[in-house]
């Protein structure tokens, strides 16, 4: 399964592509940041982000596009630009019949580090380690896009489909599944191994 992760932003929109193979083995394919010029008008900036996203979707033909779920921040302009970029990523995927998944930053951090409150450096280090990269993905938007892709590939709900047992989950995945289960009130996750 090819997963294209998106860390939406109007100035910098991170895009990370991975392959999730058998036994949830992850392989790095691509990482980039699509940029728009803050000196341009909003419509032209959105067009630049959209064209960049379309180009990545067409180049990598992902099976799913995983986008960071927009959350409220104090800076209204940042939230607006982020939401618009997320919508463009959804549109680029929907026009090609590609499923879209939304994951919060906390879910992505939990999937990658086992800690939903991990800082940027922890996320960058774990992304590099999980994907066998020799250097940390930079800027942070690039690492966050790869974390989004990893989050979707390793999501406990998907890992438990098809009769697979929880014992095949990593420690971080078990912690994430337990936290997600408690948060959603769906009962407890079995920890027997």
**Residue among 68, 107, 124, 144 flagged as catalytic:** 68
**Residue among 7, 107, 124, 144 flagged as catalytic:** 7
Tokens 């939903």 sit at which residue?
A: 116
Q: Is 141 annotated as a binding residue?
A: yes
**Residue among 37, 43, 119, 141 flagged as catalytic:** 141
Residue 63 a catalytic site member: no
Residue 7 a catalytic site member: yes
Q: Is 19 annotated as a binding residue?
A: no
Residue 192 a catalytic site member: no
24 by Cβ neighbours in 10 Å (0-12 / 13-18 / 19+) ranks as middle
* CB contact at 8 A, 114 and 151: no
Q: Is 7 annotated as a binding residue?
A: yes
Cβ contacts of 165-174, under 8 Å, gap ≥ 24: 166/190, 166/191, 166/193, 167/193, 168/23, 168/24, 171/114, 172/110, 172/111, 172/112, 172/113, 172/114, 173/111
Binding residues: 7, 68, 141
Query: What residues are annotated to the active site?
Result: 7, 68, 141
Binding residues for Mg(2+): 7, 68, 141
């Amino acid at each position: 399964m090819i997963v294209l992760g998106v860390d939406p932003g109007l100035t910098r929109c991170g895009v990370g592509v991975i392959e999730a193979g058998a036994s949830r083995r992850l392989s790095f394919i691509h990482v980039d940041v699509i940029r728009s010029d803050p000196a341009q008008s909003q419509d032209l900036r959105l067009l630049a982000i959209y064209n960049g996203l379309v180009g990545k979707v067409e180049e990598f033909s992902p099976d799913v596009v995983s986008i960071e779920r927009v959350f409220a921040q104090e800076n209204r302009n940042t939230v607006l630009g982020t939401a618009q970029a997320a919508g463009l990523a959804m549109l680029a995927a929907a026009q090609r019949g590609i499923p879209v998944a939304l994951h919060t930053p906390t879910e992505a951090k939990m999937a990658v580090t086992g800690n939903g409150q991990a800082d940027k450096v922890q996320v960058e280090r774990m992304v590099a380690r999980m994907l066998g990269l020799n250097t940390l993905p930079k800027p942070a938007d690039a690492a966050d896009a790869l974390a989004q892709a990893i989050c979707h590939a390793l999501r406990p709900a998907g890992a438990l489909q098809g009769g697979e047992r929880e014992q095949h989950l990593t420690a971080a995945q078990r912690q994430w599944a337990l936290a997600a289960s408690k948060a959603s009130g769906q009962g407890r996750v079995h920890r027997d191994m």
